[in-house]
Structure 1
Amino acid sequence: MNTILNVYYRLLENAGYWAVLILTFLTVALIVMGIYLLFLRKSREEERLEKLLPSSKIPFKKKPKLLEGEGNGFVTRFAKPIDEIVANKPGALHKSIRLRLIQAGWRSNAAYYNFITTKVLLGLIFPLSYLISRFFFTFSLQFVLLCLLLAIIGFGLPDSILGFVVRSRQNRIMRALPDALDLMVVCVEAGLGLDMTFRRVGEEIRPLSHDLSDEFHLTNLEIRAGKPRNECFKNMSLRTGVPEVSNLMTILIQTSRFGTSLAKALRVHSDAMRIKRRQIAEEKAAKSTVKLIFPLVFFIFPAIFVVLVGPGVIRIINVLFPAMGG
């Protein structure tokens, strides 16, 4: 009994330390669980298909959709009232958050609500964790400012991650676009229509770029659904956010409006894209010498200096200093 009381008294003496430790563990656990539930967990449709088709060797693959369902989970029920208070219901491409999510490859309404929920939770968890831990200490102006800073960091962290994902996807699309243009030129010169060209290019470019392939398939689906072609091309430009894709869509709109040669326009644009890509590569190669200065000065040069000068310094210390003192 005395041992239990001693342990209890020691816990009370170090209550602040244990509170910080428990809150840190809970914060990390909630973040890991949220990442798993939002991104790594399989959907109910995939789990049901795997149960119904256990012997199938062909993996279930989602096809690109123009608009996916909102979902009926806790995240949707939590974020939908917030969305109705802050802004109108997202459904158009011109909505800034919605557009950035689409440019990142997340097209569903559930992705929008997941993003809003993540921003709110991180904006609350970071300062609340610090606030609860400070119940065992004294309050100050520095403490209040730090809570505000943690709230800003937690609320802005999803935007930074989303921006990184958008830029990565845009770079992948931009790298694969010249090859897709060459395929479009071949298909058009072979006599295929623009609808079949989009479908064929989407199939052939998939091993090289899944993102660009999905965009071609989505545009083809929009055209088949009866939307005007100009609107479909503008939507593809908005979904990618890549200037080169916007230029391509502008060329397609102008050729259909003025009746000019589509194959010739695509070939000229493809040559311009390749020249631009080569210029970008040359620019990066020219900048590499400047970027190598910093690792050379701070990492490589000190090691070389120690190797070359070190033995001489040691010999001077061992030989010259005793002679001067003696």
Structure 2
Amino acid sequence: MQSDVYAWFVVAATFVSVSLVVVALGFSLDRRRQISMRLQEDASATGQPLDRAIGSLALNMTERLDAVFAGRGVMSSSSKVRMELVQAGFFSPQAPMIYAAAKIVLPLVAIAFSYLGMKAFSPSGESGAMLAVMASMAFAGYKGPEAFVSRKKDSLAAVYRATFPDFLDLLLVCIDAGLSMNAAVDRVAKEFDASCKPFAINLSLMLSEVRSGRAFPDALENLSVRLGIDEAKSFVTLVKQSLELGSDVSTALRVYSDEMRVKRLLRAELMANALPIKMLLPLGVFIFPALLIVVLTPAMMSLSAIFSSLVRK
């Protein structure tokens, strides 16, 4: 009886997940058809360029989705989830929707696979153990996207922290060459397009905010929030103070870039000094026992042969 209940539960979970996927695909295809029809109507009625029509419709779609999901805290433009996705390097407008769908679908898939695996390897398993395994797998499937985004965010923050001194040096060179701050940032963003694509995207977003009418210090502050590192926050404070006091920005950048290079060198030295401590565990577990075996085995064999000959005499 209990196996039948579990089987019906797995079937229901699979049916719900497949239904959600089908409904999402149908909704996406229907919205695409409506978008193409409205694009044709807007382009023919107003005579505006096609890219402007696409931008306006995409903006309307985003605002409607934000209005729908704002109460649930899933896709609000100022929500913590969206900011964490941006800090993790996921800049797509569909990233919050994919993240929310993953947190819904993955627990169902984990429950289905855990049930099938338990039935395949242990057909007569206890119901309590099966429920515990299914619950733990569902929890892992629910927390899996959060752990992935958090790990991606931390790794990307380390990349930003290592790249930021180079950004300051290139920015200082461009400013000394006579470029304005906006032109210097634009030029530096092109340099990082190949070496660090997420950092270049963040710089491009900051320039887009400035072109749209936002003040440069505010755009810099948004950049520091997207990067999520202390070096960027200190850089924003430095630029704001230089602009407010009317001091030379290049001199302040030169001093700050030197400080950032010193900090990067100190971080490298700290990592190098931590290596002996980190090597203790693999040395004690893997290398030292192997050395003891290699060194002591011949001696033990010789002693065994000597003792055996003495016993025979």
Residue 209 (str. 1) matches residue 196 (str. 2) = yes
* Distance in 2, Cα, partners of 1:242 & 1:67: 33
1:302-321 map, 5 Å: 302-321=289-308
What is the Cα deviation at residue 208 of structure 1? 2.9
- CA separation of 1:138 and 1:289: change in aligned 2, threshold 3 A: closer
Give the partner amino acid of 1:98. R
Q: Which of 289, 299, 319 in structure 1 is aligned with 2:286?
A: 299
Residue 87 (str. 1) matches residue 73 (str. 2) = yes
Residue 127 (str. 1) matches residue 114 (str. 2) = no
Give the partner amino acid of 1:223. V
* Distance in 2, Cα, partners of 1:236 & 1:137: 57
* Distance in 2, Cα, partners of 1:281 & 1:262: 28
What is the Cα deviation at residue 324 of structure 1? 2.5
Match of 1:115 in 2: 99
* Distance in 2, Cα, partners of 1:67 & 1:191: 37
What is the Cα deviation at residue 81 of structure 1? 11
TM-score by length of 1: 0.71
Give the partner amino acid of 1:124. L
Q: CA RMSD in A?
A: 3.5
- CA separation of 1:134 and 1:287: change in aligned 2, threshold 3 A: closer
Match of 1:250 in 2: 237
More helix by share: 2
* Distance in 2, Cα, partners of 1:281 & 1:86: 43
Unaligned 5+ residue runs, structure 2? 19-31, 33-54
What is the Cα deviation at residue 296 of structure 1? 1.3
* Distance in 1, Cα, partners of 2:279 & 2:179: 49
Q: Give secondary structure in 2 for the equivalent of 1:278.
A: helix
Q: Give secondary structure in 1 for the equivalent of 2:267.
A: helix
What is the Cα deviation at residue 250 of structure 1? 1.9
What is the Cα deviation at residue 258 of structure 1? 2.1
* Distance in 2, Cα, partners of 1:307 & 1:83: 65
Match of 2:49 in 1: none
Match of 1:232 in 2: 219
What is the identity percentage for the equivalent residue pairs of Structure 1 and Structure 2?
25
Unaligned 5+ residue runs, structure 1? 1-14, 31-43, 45-65, 73-78
- CA separation of 1:126 and 1:167: change in aligned 2, threshold 3 A: same
1:101-250 map, 5 Å: 101-131=85-115, 137=124, 139-250=126-237
Give the partner amino acid of 2:106. L
- CA separation of 1:80 and 1:127: change in aligned 2, threshold 3 A: farther
* Distance in 2, Cα, partners of 1:203 & 1:68: 29
Higher relative contact order (CA 8 A, sep 6+): 1
TM-score by length of 2: 0.74
